[in-house]
Structure 1
Amino acid sequence: MRIYDFDPRAGQPVPIFQSRAAQVAELGEGSGESHAFLVHFERGGVIGPHLAEFGQLFAPMEGTGWIEGGDGMRHAIRPGQVAFVERGEMHAKGSDGGMTALMIQIRDFTPLRLAVRRAQSTP
């Protein structure tokens, strides 16, 4: 499991569609079955330990929480960060105070290195 902090300098300007003051940062690429979810954790909410059936991006949008990787250690996560969980990795996630997150699952997913890695564990 890896957690990335996003830096606006990691993005690229959008040169089309009469765009201005807008940047995009590609998160990764993949293929195969995919799913996108909004996940809401109430105070004390948890999705318990389980094996990831897909490569997974987990991006908090509101509130703060934690994600636990294969090493069993909890890592804090907040808006502006995204966690990548590898397919087959044991993981869990939750929040003490409440959190809403975007979760994207792609069968064969490879994240791109676009920000500084903050925390890592292995499956």
Structure 2
Amino acid sequence: SGAASLHVARIAPGGTLGRHPTRQWQLFAVVEGAGWVAGPDDVRQPVEAGRAAVWKPGEEHSAGSDAGMLVVIAQSDLPPI
């Protein structure tokens, strides 16, 4: 039980998702393409298709891509196993 949501987002070439906190546990999974993610330390880490990042509630984070990427964002009140 608990609230959950699933979103699909395409980050255009040169696009970013600006820095913001998550309200729930969040899985940010790259399905296609490549880019970067940055967590609380604001250090960019490369990500590509088949890779993911997990943020806990309240963590500041951002993401972006030079070439574009397709991502699935799953959010839940429940922590990952």
Q: What is the CA–CA distance in structure 2 between the aligned matches of 1:53 and 1:39, rounded to whole Å?
A: 18
Q: What is the CA–CA distance in structure 1 between the aligned matches of 2:16 and 2:50, rounded to whole Å?
A: 21
**Pick from 33, 48, 60: which aligns with 2:30?**
60
Q: Which has the higher contact order (CA 8 A, sep 6+)?
A: 2
Structure 1 residue 79: deviation in Å?
1.1
Aligned residues with identical type, % of pairs: 35
Say whether residues 1:74 and 2:50 are aligned partners: no
Residue in structure 1 matched with residue 9 of structure 2 by the alignment: 39
Consecutive aligned runs of 4 or more in structure 1 exceeding 2 Å deviation = none
Residue deviations 1:25-69 (CA, integer Å, cap 9, x gap): xxxxxx411110001010111110001111001111110011100
Q: What is the CA–CA distance in structure 2 between the aligned matches of 1:87 and 1:34, rounded to whole Å?
A: 13
Residue in structure 2 matched with residue 3 of structure 1 by the alignment: none
Q: What is the identity, as a one-letter code, of the residue corresponding to 1:62?
A: E
Give the number of aligned pairs.
Answer: 81
TM-score (norm 2): 0.93
RMSD after superposition: 1.0
**Which residues of structure 2 form unaligned runs of 5+?**
none
Q: Over alpha carbons, which structure has the higher Rg? A: 1
Residue in structure 2 matched with residue 86 of structure 1 by the alignment: 56
Q: What is the CA–CA distance in structure 1 between the aligned matches of 2:17 and 2:51, rounded to whole Å?
A: 19
Residue deviations 1:67-113 (CA, integer Å, cap 9, x gap): 10000101000112111111110000111110001110002222x4x
